[in-house]
Structure 1
């Protein structure tokens, strides 16, 4: 696919089953050693949505391009970190991807802010995430959005010949 010219970001919306192909393509295109702990996806590709990874757990950012076409610019997966009732007040960001051509246009920030509203709508008062220690750009974005480091699992992953920390971050959703 050629790189679209970014014109405008549309309001973030909930994903639908019809987004399966576009989100799967985006997920594969944005795979990087900066954030991935699993190997690069290889054909045949697994379906993007399944019983544990449902459309209703995703928010989608779309952008209008120079040709006045709409393209998926990014997604965020928001889910409960556990099935426990005592943890029902927490939502966890379990994936965030932005197309290369859409980076630098506020897509990730728009997805994050939409996730706060969605988490509140679901009754959450807190939101968390995990980020690899060497992912400096993501950590800076999260910090700028009010996330604080709440824990570090040193050397939790051995990736590409070196140990990488798993950084736990969170923030309150209450005023």
Structure 2
């Protein structure tokens, strides 16, 4: 069930601190392919990770000003981008990160972010949406499957995480349904 007070909006530069903190607090070898962040921290936004690539979930204390949601606590994000710079993949969007704060898990925030990402991808003219998920991340795989994503490929032992080889699962779904 989606929490009624959850609002999804496009990130802006002012979200950088909250998103960076959420990213650090949520780091886990269950889903991360990069090492745990250490100080000094890298900026959350950069030339490859622009605010407009992120949808954020906000709860509590928000208000609508000029059609935009402001205030509240950022409790999650999804990053949605083109999978490659090639014209041949312009009809595809790829989720490259989905994070929900521990305090907001189990309340429908991740599902709301996935649905908002699909809606945004459709609005941009995309016909497909894809993602990659680590094989040992059973909760994420179940969520993606429940939202219509299917396994389209497996890269066995593709990643070495915490001393273990982990399969990289490629999932996708049509946006035409």
The residue number in structure 1 matching 2:41 is: 45
CA distance, structure 1, for counterparts of residue 123 and residue 4 of structure 2: 26
The DSSP-based 3-state class of the residue aligned with 1:45 is: coil
- TM-score, length-normalised on structure 1? 0.92
The residue number in structure 2 matching 1:60 is: 56
Query: Pairwise mapping of residues 88-99 of structure 1 onto structure 2 (< 5 A)?
Result: 88-99=90-101
Asked if 1:174 is matched to 2:176, the reply is yes
The residue number in structure 2 matching 1:123 is: 125
Asked if 1:148 is matched to 2:150, the reply is yes
CA distance, structure 1, for counterparts of residue 12 and residue 163 of structure 2: 38
**Quick one: which of 64, 80, 83 aligns to 1:81?**
83
Consecutive unaligned residues in structure 2, runs of 5 or more: 62-70
CA distance, structure 1, for counterparts of residue 33 and residue 56 of structure 2: 23
CA distance, structure 2, for counterparts of residue 79 and residue 159 of structure 1: 25
Shift of 1:161: 1.7
Contact 2:6 2:109 in 1 (8 A): no
Shift of 1:83: 0.2
- TM-score, length-normalised on structure 2? 0.91
Consecutive unaligned residues in structure 1, runs of 5 or more: 1-6
CA distance, structure 2, for counterparts of residue 144 and residue 9 of structure 1: 22
The residue number in structure 2 matching 1:19 is: 15
Contact 2:150 2:171 in 1 (8 A): yes
Contact 1:73 1:102 in 2 (8 A): yes
Shift of 1:70: 1.8
Q: How many residues in Structure 1 have an aligned counterpart in Structure 2?
A: 166
